[in-house]
């Protein structure tokens, strides 16, 4: 088995440095603060403090970091160590995918490709440890999917060649190195994979949207930094169990980002690229949550635009939204925020749940105690800002939304086999159907072409898990037993929220919930296909909250 190792040696804690003109002390572990319930505030880049939002949002252009690369032929991708100025004026060790096309160099390119086209690329591993790329959301043959067993060693090469058969939408790609996904993705190995089709083009046309100007891919991530402004990733037992949380929030790798907007409609392709943080997103002006319109989820456009005031976005999920910045006057600011919510870490284990807590912890459940011991000063469920939109003068353009965006054909579930997927906890790790991951163990077989219904249940005593399938998309049929904060957003029938609509590959399952999804296992690849199903809390994934399933030909 591969040895887990640190990619970089980071400088220690409790040092003093100047950043953004301020002198600050990075305490590294804010344990006592969190336990005392005293939030540690006002560090530079604290996302809670609105006045910190002054860095111009990084917007993808035609090359360079996050450059939009219209795939025109075979590519050579190199995964390697680099450095990147994540915090202003400070270089941090970072990992990047580098490639070029037509003489232009790209780092972590945003691939854009037409539905039906072929994607051909070689991956060269220039890291000091194993890696592999997974195309999140794409229907590829298992051999092209970046299964953990495909991981290549340092100096190794992997050849990808597959047809992009997904409908238009906002997909992404990231490392899937066996037991190293969390650490490598955190250090940079992830970006977008946009698929175009006629439905996408007609939306862009109807709303006069342009990628990189009014159509903005926006990856949201939370990270920790040390006193020198270098990325910090040091999960202890607590964070390995609960997930690694950051206290600086990056939008397109920009901390405390601000973007100027004119009074018109923007499309934001939101991707939660965080290791473990769930966001409860809302656009807020003053104290009012403004309306926004969801037009797409993980697997492309939904049927109709749906207007809401908030939505959860879990690691791995995407939400394509339209936001009308004309809801504010020039000179006003709007914040894309994550609103406060109950993180539900080990809900039910405290005194209220009756199972009793840890002795001496005042009845605090194990999960809550662990969460409070996290090294992040920004606990899961805290309220903070993600992005500031400052409205500037410009022509008021009122968008006419198309009534129909696309057709999402419901999977026919008559006669579908039902399968139980039970999430649980045991020996300080999270399990699926009682198992931890073994690379060569197949949890179950499904028949090619079969339609199944998976009833994914999460015990009350646990934490939220964003469950993700490789190789296929699914449809969410129903949410049962949702906690009040989710039930309050269930406006779409069968307990579903806006994030459940359309074609999905990742679905958040809260403690106490059973989420019923349906999957059509039809494919046209020769032979058996083995994929993984796992939690997209990346520490959970690496910790073994993953199974193999095989689609038998
Ligand atoms: Cu984006 Cu296996 O994951
Ligand atoms: Cu995936
Ligand atoms: Cu999980």
Residue 468 Cβ inside 6 Å of ligand 1? The answer reads: yes
Q: How far is the CA of 241 from the centre of ligand 3 (A)?
A: 9
Query: Is the CB of 534 inside a 6 Å radius of any atom of ligand 1?
Result: yes
Cβ of residue 470 lying under 6 Å from some atom of ligand 1: yes
Nearest atom, ligand 1, residue 174 CA: 1
pLDDT band at 350 (very low <50, low <70, confident <90, very high): very low
User: Which numbered atom of ligand 1 lies nearest the CA of 137?
Assistant: 1
Rounded to the nearest angstrom, the distance between the alpha carbon of 365 and the centre of ligand 3 is 18
- Asked whether 136 lines ligand 1 (CB < 6 A), one says yes
* Shortest-distance atom of ligand 1 to CA 532: 2
Question: Nearest-5° angle of CA 278, CA 43, CA 88?
Answer: 85
147 lines ligand 1 (CB under 6 A): no
User: Which ligand ends up closest to the CA of 367?
Assistant: 3
Distance 137 CA to ligand 2 centre (A): 5
What b/e readout covers 33-71, taking b as 16+ CB neighbours within 10 angstroms?
ebeeeeeeeebbbbbbeeebbebebbbbeebebbbbbeb
To which H or E segment does residue 238 belong?
Answer: helix 237-242
Give the pLDDT confidence score for residue 369 in this predicted structure.
57
- Asked if residue 8 has pLDDT above 50, the reply is no
Instruction: Please give the residue that has the higher pLDDT: either 373 or 218.
Output: 218
Locate the ligand 1 atom nearest the alpha carbon of residue 316 and give its number.
1
Question: Looking at residue 175, what is its pLDDT?
Answer: 98
Please tell me if the CB atom of residue 377 comes closer than 6 angstroms to any atom of ligand 1. Answer: no
Arithmetic mean of pLDDT, 482-500: 98
Q: Is the CB of 318 under 6 A from ligand 1?
A: no
What secondary structure does DSSP assign to 105-174, as a single string? EEES-EEEEETT-EEEEEEEEESSS-B-EEEET----GGGTT-GGG-B-TT-EEEEEEE--SPSEEEEEE
Residue matched to tokens 């605090």: 364
Weakest mean pLDDT among 316-325, 373-382, 444-453: 373-382
The answer to whether residue 362 scores a pLDDT higher than 80 is no
Q: Which residue has the higher pLDDT, 445 or 371?
A: 445
Residue 224 CB partners (closer than 8 Å, separation 6+): 231, 232, 233, 244, 246, 247, 248, 375, 376
- How confident is the model over 150-167, as pLDDT tens digits? 999 999 999 999 999 999
289-326 pLDDT tens trace: 999 999 999 999 999 999 999 999 999 999 999 999 99
pTM for the full predicted model: 0.90
Burial 75-103 (b: 16+ CB within 10 A, else e): bebbbbebebebbeebebbbbbbbbbbee
Distance between CA atoms of residues 429 and 373, nearest Å: 17
Residue whose Cα lies nearest atom 1 of ligand 1: it is 136
| Shortest-distance atom of ligand 1 to CA 470 | 2
Q: Tell me how far the alpha carbon of residue 381 lies from the centroid of ligand 3, in angstroms.
A: 16
Taking the centre of ligand 3 as the mean of its atom positions, its distance from the CA of residue 371, in whole angstroms, is 14
What are residue 338's DSSP bridge partners? 281, 384
| pLDDT, tens digit, 9 for 90 and up, residues 196-206 | 999 999 999 99
Ligand 1 neighbour 134 (Cβ under 6 A): yes
Nearest ligand by distance to the CA of 178? 1
pLDDT of res. 227: 84
| 139 C-alpha to ligand 3 centroid (Å) | 23
pLDDT of residue 195 exceeding 50:
yes
Q: What's the confidence (pLDDT) of residue 447?
A: 98
Q: Which of ligand 1's atoms lies nearest the C-alpha of 541?
A: 2
Tens digit of pLDDT for each residue in 323-340?
A: 999 999 999 999 999 999
**pLDDT tens digits, one per residue of 53-98:** 999 999 988 999 999 999 999 999 999 999 999 998 899 999 999 9
- Burial environment of residue 484 by CB neighbours within 10 A (0 to 12, 13 to 18, 19 or more): exposed
> Which residue has the CA at smallest separation from atom 3 of ligand 1?
136
**Residue 36 confidence class, pLDDT cut points 50, 70, 90:** very low
Report how far ligand 2's centroid is from the alpha carbon of 237 (Å). Answer: 25
Average pLDDT of the residues of the chain = 89
> Measured in angstroms, how far is the CA atom of residue 385 from the centroid of ligand 1?
26
Domains defined for the chain, CATH in brackets: 4-27+216-391 (2.60.40.420), 64-196 (2.60.40.420), 417-552 (2.60.40.420)
- Give percent helix, percent strand, percent coil of the chain, each to the nearest 5: 10, 40, 50
Residue 427's pLDDT band (cuts 50, 70, 90):
confident
Residue 21 has pLDDT above 70, yes or no: no
pLDDT of amino acid 89: 87
CA atoms within 13 A on the CB side of 418: 10
Relative to the CA of 506, which ligand 1 atom is closest? Answer: 1
Q: How far is the CA of 118 from the centre of ligand 1 (A)?
A: 21
Closest CA to 479 of 494, 465, 469, 501: 494
- The pLDDT-based confidence of 17 (bands split at 50, 70, 90) is very low
Look at residue 32 in the predicted model and tell me its pLDDT: 38
pLDDT of residue 19: 34
What's the confidence (pLDDT) of residue 376?
81
| Ligand that lies nearest to the alpha carbon of residue 548, given by its number in the listed order | 1
Atom of ligand 1 nearest to the CA of 534: 2
pLDDT band at 502 (very low <50, low <70, confident <90, very high): very high
Ligand 1 center to 88 CA (angstroms): 30
Burial of 320 from C-beta contacts in 10 A (0-12 / 13-18 / 19+):
buried
């Amino acid at each position: 088995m591969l040895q887990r190792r640190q990619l970089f040696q980071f400088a220690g804690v409790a040092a003093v440095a100047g950043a953004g003109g301020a002198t600050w002390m990075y305490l590294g572990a804010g344990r006592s603060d969190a336990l005392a319930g005293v939030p540690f505030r006002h560090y530079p880049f604290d996302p809670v403090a609105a006045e910190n939002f002054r860095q111009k949002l990084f917007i993808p252009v035609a090359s360079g970091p996050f450059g939009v690369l219209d795939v025109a032929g075979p590519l050579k991708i190199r995964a390697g160590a680099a450095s990147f100025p994540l915090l202003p004026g400070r270089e941090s060790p970072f990992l990047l995918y580098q490639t070029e096309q037509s003489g232009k160099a790209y780092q972590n390119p945003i691939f854009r490709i037409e539905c039906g086209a072929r994607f051909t690329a070689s991956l060269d591993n220039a890291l000091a440890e194993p890696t592999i790329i997974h195309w999140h959301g794409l229907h590829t043959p298992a051999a092209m999917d970046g299964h953990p067993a495909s991981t290549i060693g340092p100096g190794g090469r992997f050849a990808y060649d597959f047809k992009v058969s997904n409908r238009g939408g906002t997909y992404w790609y990231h490392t899937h190195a066996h037991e190293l996904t969390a650490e490598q993705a955190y250090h940079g190995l992830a970006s977008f994979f946009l698929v175009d089709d006629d439905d996408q083009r007609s939306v862009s046309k109807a709303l006069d949207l342009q990628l990189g100007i009014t159509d903005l891919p926006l990856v949201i991530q939370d990270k920790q930094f040390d006193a020198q402004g270098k990325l910090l990733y040091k999960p202890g037992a607590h964070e390995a169990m609960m997930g690694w949380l950051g206290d600086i929030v990056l939008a397109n790798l920009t901390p405390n980002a601000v973007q100027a907007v004119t009074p018109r409609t923007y499309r934001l392709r939101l991707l939660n690229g965080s290791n473990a943080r769930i966001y409860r997103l809302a656009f807020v002006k003053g104290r009012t949550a403004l309306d926004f319109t969801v037009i797409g989820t993980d697997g492309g456009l939904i049927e109709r635009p749906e207007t809401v005031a908030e939505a959860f976005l879990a690691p791995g999920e995407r939400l394509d939204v339209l936001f009308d910045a004309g809801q504010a006057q020039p000179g006003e600011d709007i914040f894309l925020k994550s609103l406060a919510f109950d993180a539900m870490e080990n809900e039910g284990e405290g005194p209220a749940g009756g199972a009793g807590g840890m002795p001496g912890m005042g009845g605090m459940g194990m999960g809550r105690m662990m969460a409070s011991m996290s090294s992040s000063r920004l606990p899961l469920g805290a309220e903070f800002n993600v992005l500031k939109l400052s409205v500037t003068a410009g022509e008021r353009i009122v968008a006419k939304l198309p009534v129909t965006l696309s057709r999402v054909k419901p999977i026919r579930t008559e006669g579908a086999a039902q399968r139980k997927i039970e999430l649980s906890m045991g020996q300080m790790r999270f399990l699926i159907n009682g198992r931890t991951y073994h690379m060569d163990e197949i949890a179950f077989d499904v028949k090619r072409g079969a339609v199944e219904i998976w009833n994914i249940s999460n015990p009350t005593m646990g934490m939220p898990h964003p469950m993700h399938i490789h190789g296929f998309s699914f449809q969410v049929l129903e949410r049962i037993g949702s906690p009040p904060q989710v039930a309050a957003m269930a406006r779409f029938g069968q307990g579903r929220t806006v994030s459940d609509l359309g074609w999905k590959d990742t679905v958040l399952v809260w403690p106490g919930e059973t989420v019923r999804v349906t999957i059509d296992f039809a494919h046209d690849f020769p032979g058996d296909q083995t994929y993984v199903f796992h939690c997209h809390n990346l520490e959970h994934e690496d910790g073994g909250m993953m199974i193999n399933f095989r689609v038998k030909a």
